[in-house]
C-alpha cells in the first residue's frame, strides 16, 4: 500500500484509553459481584477514573476522525469503545439500589 495516509497518534491513544476504561469497569463490576455487593473504595475510584478516561478517549477519537488525509479506523474504534464504556458507567450510576 503506497500512500501518505497514516494512523494518527490521537486515534491510537483513543483506542488504548477505551480498552483501559472497559477493563477497569469490568474489574470493578466483577470485584463487586464477587464481594457480594460490599464494594471497597478502590472499585469506585477505578470506575470514576474509567469514566474520565473514556470521556478523554471519546474526544480524542472525534478529533482523530476529523484529521484529513489519515486513516480513520483507530479513531472509530476508539469512539466505539469509549461510548460503550460511557454507557456502562451511566448504567452503573443510575442503577437502582
Q: What integer is the mean pLDDT of 65-87?
A: 94
Confidence check: pLDDT of 1 > 70 = no
Chain Cα centroid distance, residue 19 = 6
| Helices (H), ranges, the chain | 9-34, 41-65, 73-93
Q: Is the pTM of this model over 0.85?
A: yes
Instruction: Supply the pLDDT for residue 26.
Output: 92
Amino acid at each position: 500500500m503506497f500512500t501518505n495516509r497514516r494512523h494518527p497518534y490521537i486515534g491510537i491513544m483513543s483506542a488504548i484509553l477505551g480498552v483501559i476504561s472497559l477493563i477497569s469497569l469490568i474489574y470493578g463490576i466483577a470485584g463487586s459481584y464477587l464481594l457480594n455487593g460490599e464494594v471497597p473504595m478502590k472499585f469506585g475510584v477505578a470506575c470514576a477514573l474509567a469514566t474520565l478516561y473514556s470521556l478523554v478517549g471519546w474526544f480524542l477519537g472525534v478529533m482523530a476522525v476529523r484529521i484529513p488525509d489519515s486513516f480513520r479506523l483507530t479513531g472509530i474504534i476508539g469512539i466505539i469503545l469509549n461510548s460503550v464504556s460511557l454507557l456502562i458507567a451511566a448504567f452503573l450510576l443510575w442503577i437502582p439500589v
